[in-house]
């Protein structure tokens, strides 16, 4: 450990010659000058080592002890640095230029991180930030962080808050998503509950409005199930017609429905057959520079697959704005092959089941029974799904240009 410390501080190896050289050692001890590696050559001379820091002070003590000092060697980090300054000025100049370049480049943004978003894609936020000047390669000190965040928020109504924090080459974007406000129904707008599909009513319940059908009735798509028109009954023996009142119908209508879905596919398909022709091109992206080395495709057939591979530079787990893009084009021809009928039918049935499930999810329904019918005609395979379901078929349809009112016959005294 002491040897390492001496190398870091630097030391010099000296030879002392005098009539009474031991007096020099006594003076070094009295003045607390550290020395080591003492080696007597004869009665009037010896060698020893001392730190570079105490070298000048040792000359004064040598004069007092009437000794002559001769340097044999110098070692340590300060000696190496001094030699580099004297003999390698070009290296030091390059080092200084590198440090200056690093100091200047560290003021440009290299990494942009977005945190706090869940439903809004990061790519959408980065695209909006790029429009306001926050992007890789931008000069960090020139970005007005608060103003840029407010301007970016104007184009992102899905966000309620954004903050931009710049740390050297890294920009941290903190966002908060806006809470979705539930849609408010305007109760003053009259509306009817209309059938969204054909079916047999199993249960009809009107909270507001008048039910036009009863359980077990068959209804067609578009028929009014719960009307927003309410008759106002006049009192017994009354002579005034109170007319009717228009309201917004509210209620639930559950019905048994029969759905028919269909999918078709050709009985032959075109299959790619690669010819072996291949061309490759490269591109480099660094900061805001894009340099492509792509050449025109040499694929003779004119049909080819284009495969793009991008390798991004990462440093300490962070993605840098530098990437190598490789574009490969592979030529192919097309030939027709027959499809396996059973496999194709199974695929179509799976697609139809997914469609039916999505339909039931949208209509708050359930599937009671399904049947499939398969047929071939004109070189195509067609699969039909017949499903019996239970679902909510009522849909609110507002009445245009009509407001709640109570029309009716005028009293006789006013009519005259």
Q: pLDDT, tens digit, for every residue of 361-397?
A: 988 899 999 999 999 988 899 999 999 999 999 998 8
pLDDT in tens, 159-208: 999 999 988 888 899 999 988 766 655 667 888 999 999 999 999 999 88
CA 236, chain centre distance (Å): 71
- What is the pLDDT at residue 409? 40
- Residue 145 shares a structural domain with residue 167: yes
Q: What is the mean pLDDT of the chain?
A: 82
- What is the pLDDT at residue 20? 82
CATH (domain of 140): 3.10.20.310
Q: Is the pTM of this model over 0.85?
A: no
Look at residue 330 and tell me if it is in a domain.
yes
DSSP helix/strand/coil, 306: strand
Look at residue 233 and tell me if it is in a domain.
no
Q: Lowest-confidence range among 62-66, 126-130, 293-297, 403-407? A: 403-407
Look at residue 295 and tell me if it is in a domain.
yes
Q: Are 266 and 357 in contact (CB under 8 A)?
A: no
Mean pLDDT in residue range 63-86: 77
Using DSSP bridges, classify how beta strands 111-115 and 170-177 pair: parallel, antiparallel or unpaired.
Answer: parallel
- Residue 352 shares a structural domain with residue 321: no
User: Rounded CA gap, 383 and 261, in Å?
Assistant: 9
DSSP helix/strand/coil, 189: coil
- What is the pLDDT at residue 9? 78
pLDDT tops 90 at residue 407: no
Kindly report the number of other CB atoms within 10 A of residue 251's CB atom.
17
**Which two three-digit tokens encode residue 274?**
């690669």
22 against 388, higher pLDDT: 388
User: Rounded CA gap, 288 and 45, in Å?
Assistant: 70
Look at residue 243 and tell me if it is in a domain.
no
- What is the pLDDT at residue 412? 39
Partners of 35 in beta bridges: 50
User: Rounded CA gap, 391 and 45, in Å?
Assistant: 112
Q: At what angle do helices 77-87 and 2-9 cross, to 10 degrees?
A: 30
- Residue 57 shares a structural domain with residue 125: no
- What is the pLDDT at residue 223? 93
- Residue 355 shares a structural domain with residue 374: yes
Confidence of residue 92 (pLDDT cuts 50, 70, 90): low
Mean pLDDT in residue range 328-339: 87
CATH (domain of 40): 3.30.70.2280
Give the residue among 61, 69, 59 at the shortest CA–CA distance from 26: 61
Mean pLDDT in residue range 199-219: 91
User: Rounded CA gap, 282 and 327, in Å?
Assistant: 6
Look at residue 414 and tell me if it is in a domain.
no
DSSP helix/strand/coil, 202: strand
pLDDT tops 80 at residue 252: yes
Contacts of 161 (CB under 8 A, 6+ apart): 153, 174, 175, 176
Look at residue 415 and tell me if it is in a domain.
no
Give the residue among 284, 304, 300, 303 at the shortest CA–CA distance from 292: 284
Look at residue 224 and tell me if it is in a domain.
no
Residue at a domain's end among 159, 177, 195: 177
- Residue 125 shares a structural domain with residue 172: yes
pLDDT tops 60 at residue 405: no
Residue at a domain's end among 59, 81, 103: 81
pLDDT tops 60 at residue 308: yes
Q: Which domain holds residue 310?
A: 271-334
pLDDT tops 70 at residue 268: yes
DSSP helix/strand/coil, 81: helix
- Residue 147 shares a structural domain with residue 131: yes
Mean pLDDT in residue range 95-110: 76
pLDDT in tens, 33-50: 888 888 888 888 888 888
49 against 315, higher pLDDT: 49
pLDDT tops 90 at residue 255: yes
Domain count, the chain: 4
Confidence of residue 282 (pLDDT cuts 50, 70, 90): confident
Residue 85 burial by Cβ neighbours in a 10 Å radius (0-12, 13-18, 19+): exposed
- Residue 8 shares a structural domain with residue 67: yes
Residue at a domain's end among 177, 196, 227: 177
């Amino acid at each position: 450990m002491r040897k390492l410390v001496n190398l870091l501080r630097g030391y010099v190896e000296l030879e002392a010659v005098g009539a009474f050289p031991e007096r020099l050692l006594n003076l070094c001890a009295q003045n607390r000058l550290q020395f080591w590696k003492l080696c007597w050559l004869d009665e009037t001379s010896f060698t020893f080592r001392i730190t570079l820091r105490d070298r000048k002070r040792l000359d004064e003590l040598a004069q007092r002890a009437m000794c002559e000092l001769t340097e044999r060697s110098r070692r340590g980090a300060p000696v190496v640095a001094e030699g580099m300054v004297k003999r390698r000025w070009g290296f030091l100049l390059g080092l200084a230029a590198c440090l200056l370049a690093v100091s200047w480049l560290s003021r440009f943004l290299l990494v942009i991180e977005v945190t706090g978003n869940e439903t809004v894609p990061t790519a959408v936020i980065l695209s909006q930030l790029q429009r306001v000047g926050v992007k890789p390669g931008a000069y960090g000190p020139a970005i007005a962080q608060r103003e840029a965040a407010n301007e970016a928020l104007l184009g992102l109504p899905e966000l309620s808050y954004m903050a931009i924090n710049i740390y050297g080459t890294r920009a941290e974007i903190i966002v908060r998503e806006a809470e979705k406000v539930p849609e408010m129904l305007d109760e003053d707008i009259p509306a009817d509950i209309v059938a969204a599909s054909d079916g047999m009513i199993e249960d009809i319940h009107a909270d507001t409005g008048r039910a036009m059908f009863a359980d077990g009735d068959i209804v067609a798509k578009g028929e009014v199930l719960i009307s927003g028109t309410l008759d106002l009954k006049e009192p017994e023996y009354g002579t005034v017609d109170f007319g009717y009142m228009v309201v917004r119908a509210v209620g639930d209508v559950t019905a048994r429905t029969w759905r028919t879905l269909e999918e078709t596919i050709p009985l032959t398909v075109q299959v790619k057959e690669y010819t072996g022709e291949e061309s490759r091109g490269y591109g480099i992206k660094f900061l805001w520079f894009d340099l492509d080395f792509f050449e025109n495709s040499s694929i003779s057939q004119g049909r080819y697959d284009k495969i793009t591979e991008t390798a991004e530079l990462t440093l300490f787990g962070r993605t840098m704005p530098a990437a190598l893009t490789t574009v490969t084009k592979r030529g192919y021809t097309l030939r027709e092959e027959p499809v396996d009928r059973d496999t194709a039918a199974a695929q179509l049935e799976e697609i139809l089941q997914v469609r039916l499930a999505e339909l039931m999810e949208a209509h708050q329904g359930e599937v009671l029974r399904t049947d499939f019918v398969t047929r071939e005609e004109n070189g195509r395979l067609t699969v039909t799904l017949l499903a019996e379901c239970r679902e909510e078929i009522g849909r609110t349809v507002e009445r245009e240009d009509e407001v709640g009112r109570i029309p009716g016959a005028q009293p006789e005294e006013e009519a005259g």
